[in-house]
């Protein structure tokens, strides 16, 4: 609503009138139409929804959503947004609409591919990379510019410099290179993918003085059975020889020009592009991705000492990697990167199934839809599954008496690939509403393999995530023939946590759209996927042009998309549980117990590992002890709450649920926990400064400890203690929230 300048007195009168009406309605509501208590999940209905989820429909949606390359900010991606909206509307979702933002994106020069050029001492070109991957399946991959190899937000320009090889570009790798006596200053940094977010590698290289960077995928990771045609795509899931991983280099989340606030057209942008460069949010050096074939051309020429054994890989078969600097026989390296920043309109799509009992409680499901190229795996395996969840729920509503008690909200995010932009702007715009109404946000980005379910969530939701998986049939015939009939049975077998006797569940990191919900708004999240049983962090064809339906259907999920279907079923099962359970399945007892048994011992270990004087250590430990005592109090309060909460009538149930939801928000520190990432506000789970993909517990404490170790001043010591105290304050907030009186 727009402010129209109504005189104050009229406003007061209207407010008074509204109050009288509100009181009457409340009185009427409590005395005459006392609502029934929400019934628990009706398992027959839940089963029907699962049965209504069909592979055939997922396949159709997948083909529609991943037909063209649909980079955020392009017309093709706008068409995908409309295709999602029309699928949802056709199924019968309510109030389907777009939520637009104007954000800073980055594009290459599609007419002018990036290149790596090598010249000999006579100035003759001895190698030039193509900068474009070849089409392998023409029916699916012939879209214009699909093969273009580039990285978003790379600096624009041409640089010639000596090369240095820095392994994965982790903090340790930079430290070790320094110990080897090799300086990165003024050099082009060659780094391989893996062990961290690519934007962090480039950030570190730039900080170390690099003037350019090249990223490649090592066959050691992405072509483990060999690089010959029989062992790579399209015969297998492994990466073929001219392929590259695309991606964003932004260091941080959301539109770089509007931290904290939504980038609405009518609002001012608080940060300038220059400031975004100066604070390292955007890299200023040119960067490009190359195939392992091109990496071989570089590697075989690098001079200097041999790289350590754990820096070796399988580029060029048995080639020995060296660290440089520079090439043997005086050859010269140049990289040409064409890159441009553009302000673009993006749009999230939102749609509802309104709850019959508590329409103001939101159970939120989401996935992004923008892709680097066709995105049939990342993200449209999820987009297709989500559309089918919506359709199957609406079919169930149409054909039975079921309707969720709480509202289920469907979200399709734009510009996730550039840095979680669509979801971050959304959370920034609606943070107050979300903090009041959102029960949970459940994210599924993409299928990464077909071995097992894999879940990341917060301690309060571990039990519900596990129980739901026991009600989803196993998509694998092979697993079923071994007696593992549910998704849970395979999950506990593949990823067991021996200590606690249930599947291994970590706290979500920053790699997808759940991050702003948890870290900025304090809404608890579940982020799940299907993946291979090995530790390899993602799938070999991640962010390549070969993510087209052939990969989903013929290589990754060959039994009629059974895994895609199971993903939809698990998503639906979770949604129904949160929508229909009388008392919200939020387990504060488990939070207390995980804090006491895991987080606090880890914190103590970090404290004891600090290089600190005895007296300073004592003052830190003193606060730590007080925090431990509060955690014990939390355990007592949570158990008491669990045992004495009453849910024999609506008012009591709502009071119980209200407290459960509010207790999650206690961990949001409005002042933030990280200087570098304004959306990091969760004192327990916010994403660490050093790797945007993973997470560190109690990042505020960790950051303060790092500052203290770099500069052990009294101010920095006090900040460590203060940050521990802020965690404790949040714990006390939960105790108070669960209690009856202040």
Ligand X SMILES: *[C@@H]1O[C@H](CO)[C@@H](O)[C@H](O)[C@H]1NC(C)=O
Contact footprint for ligand X (CB under 6 A): 42, 44-45, 90-92, 156-158, 224, 229, 237, 241, 293, 317-318, 340, 391, 394-395, 398, 400-402, 449-451, 463, 532, 534, 536, 556-559, 587, 589-590, 593, 611, 712
Q: Which residue has the tokens 């015969």?
A: 235
Q: Shortest Cβ distance from residue 155 to ligand X (Å)?
A: 9
Q: Shortest Cβ distance from residue 450 to ligand X (Å)?
A: 4
CB nearer to ligand X: give 44 or 481: 44
- Contact partners, residue 344, CB within 8 Å, separation at least 6: 72, 73, 102, 103, 105
CB nearer to ligand X: give 85 or 680: 85
Adjacent-strand bridge partners of 191 = 215
- What is the DSSP-derived secondary structure letter of residue 664? H
Q: Shortest Cβ distance from residue 241 to ligand X (Å)?
A: 4
Picking from 269, 523, 557, 549, the residue whose alpha carbon sits closest to that of residue 409 is 523
Q: Shortest Cβ distance from residue 572 to ligand X (Å)?
A: 13
User: How distant is the alpha carbon of residue 241 from its chain centre?
Assistant: 28
Catalytic annotation, pick one of 68, 140, 242, 416 = 416
CB nearer to ligand X: give 115 or 532: 532
Q: Shortest Cβ distance from residue 513 to ligand X (Å)?
A: 25
State yes or no: is 709 an active-site residue: no
CB nearer to ligand X: give 156 or 716: 156
Q: What angle do CA 484, 485, 489 make, to 5 degrees?
A: 50
Q: How far apart are CA 551 and CA 556, in angstroms?
A: 6
Omega prior to 234 cis, within 30 of 0: yes
Q: How far apart are CA 659 and CA 736, in angstroms?
A: 10
Omega prior to 325 cis, within 30 of 0: yes
Q: Shortest Cβ distance from residue 559 to ligand X (Å)?
A: 5
Q: How far apart are CA 673 and CA 729, in angstroms?
A: 14
Adjacent-strand bridge partners of 152 = 248
- Which 3 state secondary structure label does DSSP give 242? coil
Q: Is 491 exposed, middle or buried (CB count within 10 Å of its CB: 0-12, 13-18, 19+)? A: buried
Q: How far apart are CA 732 and CA 359, in angstroms?
A: 31
Q: How far is CA 108 from CA 157, 248, 339, 364, 374, in A?
A: 11, 12, 4, 34, 17
Beta strands in 249-324 (DSSP E): 287-290
- Which 3 state secondary structure label does DSSP give 191? strand
Picking from 419, 156, 101, 129, the residue whose alpha carbon sits closest to that of residue 284 is 156
Residue 621, Cβ neighbours under 10 Å: how many?
A: 15
Is the separation of the CB atoms in 620 and 607 below 8 Å?
yes
CB nearer to ligand X: give 32 or 401: 401
Q: How far apart are CA 358 and CA 350, in angstroms?
A: 19
User: How distant is the alpha carbon of residue 30 from its chain centre?
Assistant: 43
Q: How far apart are CA 677 and CA 669, in angstroms?
A: 13
Q: Shortest Cβ distance from residue 358 to ligand X (Å)?
A: 18
Q: Shortest Cβ distance from residue 573 to ligand X (Å)?
A: 15
Q: Shortest Cβ distance from residue 23 to ligand X (Å)?
A: 35
Helices (H), 279-356: 292-299
Catalytic residues: 416
């Amino acid at each position: 609503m727009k402010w129209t300048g109504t005189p104050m007195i009229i406003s007061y009168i209207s407010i008074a009138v509204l109050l009288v009406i509100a009181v009457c309605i409340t009185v009427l509501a409590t005395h005459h139409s006392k609502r029934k208590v929400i019934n628990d999940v009706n398992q027959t209905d839940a089963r029907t929804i699962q049965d209504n989820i069909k592979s055939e429909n997922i396949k159709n949606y997948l083909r529609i959503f991943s037909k063209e390359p649909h980079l955020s900010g392009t017309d093709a991606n706008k068409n995908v947004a409309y295709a999602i909206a029309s699928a949802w509307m056709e199924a019968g979702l309510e109030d389907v609409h777009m939520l637009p933002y104007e954000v800073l994106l980055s594009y290459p020069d599609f007419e002018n591919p990036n290149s790596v050029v090598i010249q000999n001492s006579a100035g003759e070109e001895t190698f030039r990379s193509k900068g474009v991957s070849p089409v392998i399946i023409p029916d699916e991959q012939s879209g214009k510019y699909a093969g273009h190899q580039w990285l978003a937000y790379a600096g624009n320009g041409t640089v010639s410099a000596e090369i240095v090889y820095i392994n994965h570009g982790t903090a340790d790798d930079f430290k070790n290179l320094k110990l080897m006596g090799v300086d990165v200053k003024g050099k082009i940094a060659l780094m391989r993918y893996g062990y961290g977010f690519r934007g962090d590698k480039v950030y570190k290289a730039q900080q170390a003085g690099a003037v350019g960077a090249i990223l490649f995928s090592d066959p050691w990771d992405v072509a483990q059975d060999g690089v010959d045609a029989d062992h790579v795509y399209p015969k297998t899931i492994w990466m073929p020889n001219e392929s590259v991983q695309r991606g964003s280099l932004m260091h941080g989340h959301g539109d770089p020009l509007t931290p904290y606030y939504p980038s609405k057209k009518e609002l001012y942008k608080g940060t300038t592009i220059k400031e975004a460069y100066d604070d390292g949010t955007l890299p200023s050096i040119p960067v490009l991705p190359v195939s392992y074939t091109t990496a071989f051309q570089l590697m075989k020429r690098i001079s200097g000492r041999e790289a350590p054994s754990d820096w070796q890989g399988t580029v060029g078969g048995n080639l020995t990697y060296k660290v440089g600097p520079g090439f043997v026989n005086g050859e010269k390296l140049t990289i040409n990167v064409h890159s441009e920043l553009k302000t673009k309109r993006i749009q999230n799509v939102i749609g509802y199934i309104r709850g019959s009992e508590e329409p103001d409680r939101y159970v939120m499901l989401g996935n992004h839809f923008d892709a680097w190229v066709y995105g049939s795996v990342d993200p449209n395996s999820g987009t297709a599954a989500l559309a089918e969840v919506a359709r199957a729920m609406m079919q169930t509503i149409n054909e039975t008496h079921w309707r969720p008690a709480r509202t289920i909200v469907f979200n399709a995010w734009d510009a996730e690939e550039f840095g979680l932009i669509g979801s971050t702007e959304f959370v920034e715009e609606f943070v107050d509403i979300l903090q009041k109404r959102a029960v949970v946000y459940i994210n599924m980005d993409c299928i990464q393999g077909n071995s097992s379910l894999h879940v990341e969530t917060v301690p309060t939701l571990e039990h519900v995530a596990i129980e739901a998986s026991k009600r989803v049939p196993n998509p694998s015939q092979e697993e079923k023939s071994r007696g593992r009939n549910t998704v849970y049975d395979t999950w506990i077998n593949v990823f067991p946590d021996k200590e606690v006797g249930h599947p291994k569940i970590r706290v979500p990191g920053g790699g997808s759209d759940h991050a702003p919900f948890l870290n900025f708004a304090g809404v608890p999240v579940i982020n799940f996927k299907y993946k291979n049983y090995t530790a390899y962090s993602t799938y070999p064809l991640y962010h390549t042009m070969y993510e087209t339906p052939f990969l989903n259907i013929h290589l990754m999920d060959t039994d009629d998309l059974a895994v895609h279907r199971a993903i939809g079923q698990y998503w639906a099962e979770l949604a129904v549980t949160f929508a229909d359970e009388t008392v919200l399945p939020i387990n504060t007892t488990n939070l207390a117990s995980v804090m006491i048994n895991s987080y606090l011992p880890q914190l103590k270990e970090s404290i004891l590992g600090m290089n600190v004087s005895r007296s300073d250590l004592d003052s830190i430990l003193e606060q730590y002890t007080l925090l431990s005592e509060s955690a014990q109090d939390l355990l007592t309060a949570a158990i008491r709450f669990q045992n004495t909460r009453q849910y024999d009538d609506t008012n009591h149930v709502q009071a119980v649920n209200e407290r459960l939801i509010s207790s999650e928000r206690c961990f949001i520190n409005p002042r933030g926990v990280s200087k570098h990432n304004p959306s990091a506000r969760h004192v327990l789970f916010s994403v660490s400064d050093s790797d945007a993909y993973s997470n560190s517990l109690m990042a505020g404490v960790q950051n303060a400890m790092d500052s203290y170790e770099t500069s052990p001043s009294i101010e920095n010591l006090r900040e460590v203690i203060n940050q521990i105290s802020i965690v404790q304050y949040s714990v006390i907030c939960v105790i108070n929230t669960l209690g009856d009186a202040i």
